[in-house]
C-alpha cells in the first residue's frame, strides 16, 4: 500500500442540502494535488453520486449520518470512501447495473455506473440493515512542472 500524504474526514446528516457541501469540501481538499479541471469535475461528480445514493437509498425516509473520508496517497492516487449506516443494499451486483434503482421514477439508476466510469476502481460493500461503504480510487495525471 502506498504512503498516505494527507487525509480528511467529514461526518454530516443525510440531508440533500449537504450533498453540495460534501462535493465542495472534497474538491477543496483535493486541490492540493493540483488536479486538472476535468479531474476535479469527475471527483465532485463521484462524491455527489455516492452521497446522493446514501441519502436517497440508504436512509430513504429517515435521517442518519454519512461519513466521507478522503486519503491522498503517494503517486497522485486519491481514495474516497462514502459510508452510511442506513438500510444497506440487498443485491450489490444488481444495484450496480445501469438503470436499476430502488428510488422513484425521478431516479435514473445510473449512480454506480457514473461512479465507475469516472474512477479507476470502485468497490461497494453493503450489509442489509447495517449500511453501505463505497470506495472509489482515482489516479490523477502527472502534472509537468
19 phi and psi angles, rounded to 5 deg:
-60, -45
* 142 in active site: no
Question: Residue 121 contacts by C-beta under 8 Å, 6 or more apart in sequence?
Answer: 135, 136, 137
CA distance 57 to 119: 21
Question: Catalytic pick from 19, 39, 53, 79?
Answer: 53
Question: Residue 23 contacts by C-beta under 8 Å, 6 or more apart in sequence?
Answer: 44, 47, 48, 51
Q: Other CB atoms closer than 10 Å to residue 145's CB: what's the count?
A: 3
Question: Catalytic pick from 49, 76, 79, 87?
Answer: 49
CA distance 39 to 54: 23
Exposed/middle/buried for residue 83 (C-beta within 10 Å: 0-12, 13-18, 19+)? buried
Q: Annotated active-site positions, please? A: 49, 53, 107
Amino acid at each position: 500500500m502506498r504512503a498516505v500524504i494527507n487525509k480528511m474526514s467529514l461526518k454530516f446528516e443525510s440531508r440533500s442540502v449537504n450533498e453540495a457541501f460534501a462535493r465542495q469540501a472534497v474538491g477543496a481538499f483535493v486541490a492540493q494535488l493540483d488536479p486538472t479541471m476535468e479531474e476535479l469535475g469527475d471527483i465532485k461528480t463521484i462524491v455527489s453520486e455516492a452521497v446522493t445514493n446514501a441519502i436517497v437509498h440508504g436512509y430513504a425516509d429517515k435521517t442518519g449520518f454519512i461519513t466521507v473520508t478522503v486519503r491522498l496517497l503517494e503517486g497522485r492516487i486519491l481514495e474516497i470512501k462514502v459510508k452510511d449506516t442506513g438500510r444497506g443494499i440487498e443485491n450489490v451486483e444488481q444495484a450496480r447495473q445501469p438503470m436499476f434503482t430502488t428510488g422513484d421514477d425521478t431516479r435514473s439508476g445510473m449512480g454506480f455506473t457514473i461512479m465507475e466510469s469516472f474512477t479507476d476502481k470502485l468497490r461497494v460493500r453493503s450489509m442489509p440493515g447495517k449500511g453501505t461503504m463505497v470506495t472509489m480510487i482515482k489516479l490523477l495525471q502527472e502534472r509537468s512542472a
